[in-house]
């Protein structure tokens, strides 16, 4: 299978799983707004797929939320099989993806750095007072 086709299958599965979250967890007390399907890596033979999931906030509940997703993997596969026409419906394995939290942390650190004020940026260097004068 070509790499381009595998990328399209990954994107299609990502979209389908994202939409299926609301069907599978209808009525369950789980914060679906905090769950993001960040990446899917499907095997070349289409029999297995690793679903990377980011859970924003809920630091203490991430393990439980990931277990709930893993327990509903068969339901996700059933919906994928019903909605998509693939040679095989891949077995889904869910894993936690911490890249969004890392990116958020980096943005937080950058926002707290000392930045020169706007008045210092607008003043030409020749007009600024220096220690040499």
Which residue did the predictor score with more confidence, 10 or 1? 10
Is 90 exceeded by the pLDDT of residue 122? no
Mean pLDDT of 27-43: 87
Give the CATH number, domain containing residue 45.
Answer: 3.30.300.20
Say if pTM beats, i.e. exceeds, 0.75.
no
CA angle (33, 93, 62) in 5-degree steps: 40
Per-residue pLDDT band for 86 (boundaries 50, 70, 90) equals confident
Is 90 exceeded by the pLDDT of residue 60? no
**123 belongs to a structural domain:** no
Is 60 exceeded by the pLDDT of residue 107? yes
Percent of the chain at pLDDT exceeding 70: 83
**119 belongs to a structural domain:** no
Count structural domains, the chain: 1
CA angle (123, 124, 126) in 5-degree steps: 125
**126 belongs to a structural domain:** no
Percent of the chain at pLDDT exceeding 90: 26
Domain that holds residue 82: 3-111
**11 belongs to a structural domain:** yes
Which residue did the predictor score with more confidence, 116 or 13? 13
pLDDT score at 129: 60
**120 belongs to a structural domain:** no
Mean pLDDT (the chain) is 82
Is 80 exceeded by the pLDDT of residue 114? no
pLDDT score at 132: 53
């Amino acid at each position: 299978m070509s790499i381009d086709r595998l990328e399209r299958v990954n994107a299609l599965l990502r979209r389908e799983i994202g939409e299926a979250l609301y069907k599978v967890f209808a009525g369950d007390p789980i914060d679906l707004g905090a769950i993001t399907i960040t990446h899917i890596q499907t095997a070349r033979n289409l029999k297995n797929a690793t679903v990377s999931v980011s859970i924003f906030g809920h630091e203490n509940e991430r393990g439980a939320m990931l277990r709930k997703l893993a327990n509903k993997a068969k339901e996700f596969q059933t919906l994928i099989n019903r909605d998509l026409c693939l040679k095989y419906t891949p077995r889904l394995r869910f894993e936690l993806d911490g890249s969004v939290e890392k990116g958020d942390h980096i943005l937080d650190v950058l926002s707290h750095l000392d930045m020169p004020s706007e008045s210092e940026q607008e003043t030409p260097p020749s007009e600024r007072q220096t220690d040499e004068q």
